Amino acid sequence: MTLFRKDLTAGGAVAPASSHQWQVDTRKRRTSLASDVSEQLRITLERAEDLIDFGSVQVDGRLEQDPKRRLAGTETVTVNLPMGGTRRFYEADPARILYRDAHLLAYDKEAGIPSQQTPYDAYNNLFAALYRLLSRTGGRQAPYLAMHHRLDRDTSGVMVFCLDPSANRRLGEAFQRRQVEKDYLAWVEGNPREDSWTAAEDIGRKDGRYVTRPAGEGKSARTFFRVLCRESGRSLVHALPITGRTHQIRLHLAHAGHPVIGDRRYGGRSAERLMLHACRLVMPHPVTGSRLTLTASPPDGWPSLPETASPG
């Protein structure tokens, strides 16, 4: 298998309830990770093992889920205690699979579920849940699963995964060469002055948060927007990101004075959910080369769309 892994000390994740970090004592050489966590946090060995298995423990900035790992006595251990405890509540729903063949799987991600592991939870995310689903249904052989793009925790809609290592490189190249077209629907505050426009503000970071920057002062980012319908106090917008920066659509809309409804991080008013949905993904199939169009209807609770409101 290929499990998506990254340096979990990077920004962008929701903070845990509390974080604890220490340098392993050299006298603890050959001690198990679970034993060291148990002693440092003054918790039972069983509780320490559960935290490690859940994905709340990092060794030298990397996720470590083996409680029996023997320490060298030079590592830095970080424990991010999950605010809701080690509750394993999320599993992938086979009914939400939009497309599957021997090479690809497309899934309609729910709002409120991370695409990948967080620094305190490696269980309740779409990648891990899909891997468990494939493991249960794929027989004895361990499944292969690779991810090349993600959606924000509170964004719903189409995500595509690779199931075949021989197709993985070509799928990655399609994303890198911007051969993958991603369409989003967003209910935004107010009524934009223009019927369509292209946002080109750079994306950067300030004080640990993503922000828009003038051209040349951050990472280049471009998004095409088109208004599909206007209502009193809100508008439905089609967003087509040309680049793929973190929070790009949300930041560009907030900069334009029309934040996504429910996007309190960037100035939007409160709502039951972030009103941003990845409704369509168009790409060349990495094996056949044929044009593949994957669509996900707006979720339950989404305002009814006018018949003329189509991103196509």
* Residue 259 falls inside a structural domain: yes
Residues 58 and 178 both lie in one domain: no
Residues 112 and 53 in one domain: no
Q: Which of 46, 80, 114 is the last residue of a domain?
A: 80
Mean pLDDT of 262-281: 95
pLDDT value, residue 16: 66
Tally of CB atoms within 10 A around 94: 10
Query: Residue 299: pLDDT band by 50, 70, 90 thresholds?
Result: confident
Measured between its terminal Cα atoms, the distance across the chain in Å is 36
Phi, psi (degrees; rounded to nearest 5) at 53: -60, -35
Domains in the chain, number? 2
What is the residue whose two structure tokens read 């592991």? 117
Residues 148 and 48: their CA atoms lie apart, in Å, by 32
pLDDT value at position 141? 79
Q: Are residues 72 and 161 in the same domain?
A: no
- Mark whether 213 and 154 lie in a shared domain: yes
Does 113 share its domain with 186?
yes
Both structure tokens of 255: 């900069």
Average pLDDT over residues 170-187: 95
88 part of a folded domain: no
Is pLDDT at 20 greater than 80 in this prediction?
yes
Q: What is the amino acid identity at position 105?
A: L
Looking at residue 235, its amino acid is S
Flag whether 312 is in a domain: no
Whether 152 sits among the annotated catalytic residues: the reply is: yes
Do 76 and 98 lie in one domain? The reply is: no
Q: 288 and 147 in one domain?
A: yes
pTM for the predicted model, two decimal places: 0.88
The enclosing domain of 56 has a CATH number of 3.10.290.10
Whole-number pLDDT of residue 305: 66
In a domain, 155, yes or no: yes
| Residue 8 included in any domain | no
Task: Based on the fold, state whether residues 127 and 207 are members of the same structural domain.
Answer: yes
224 in a structural domain: yes
How far is 188 from 199, CA to CA, in rounded Å? Answer: 15
Kindly state whether residues 60 and 98 are assigned to the same domain. no
The answer as to whether 252 is a domain residue is yes
DSSP result, 104-158: EEEEEEPTT--SS-BTTBSSSSHHHHHHHHHHHHS-SSPP--EES----TT-EEE
* pLDDT band, residue 309 (cuts 50/70/90): low
Residues 6 or more apart in contact with residue 160 via CB below 8 angstroms: 104, 105, 106, 107, 148, 149, 171, 281, 283, 294
Torsion of CA 4, 10, 13, 15, to 10 degrees: 130
Q: For residue range 92-142, what is the model confidence (pLDDT) as tens digits? A: 999 999 999 999 999 999 999 999 999 999 999 999 999 999 999 876 678
Q: What range does the domain containing 41 cover? A: 18-80
Considering the domain architecture, whether residues 138 and 177 belong to the same structural domain is answered as: yes
Per the domain annotation, does 300 fall within a domain?
A: no
Q: Quick one: pLDDT band at residue 311, thresholds 50, 70, 90?
A: low
Q: CA–CA separation, 45 vs 216, rounded Å?
A: 52
Average model confidence (pLDDT) for the chain? 91
Instruction: Identify whether residues 27 and 155 lie together within a single domain.
Output: no
| Share of residues in the chain with pLDDT > 90 (%) | 83
Question: Which of 121, 152, 183, 202 is labelled catalytic?
Answer: 152
CATH code for the domain of 187: 3.30.2350.10
Distance of CA 275 to the CA centre of its chain: 16
Task: Please give the average per-residue pLDDT across 207-232, as a whole number.
Answer: 93
pLDDT band at residue 307 under the 50/70/90 scheme: low
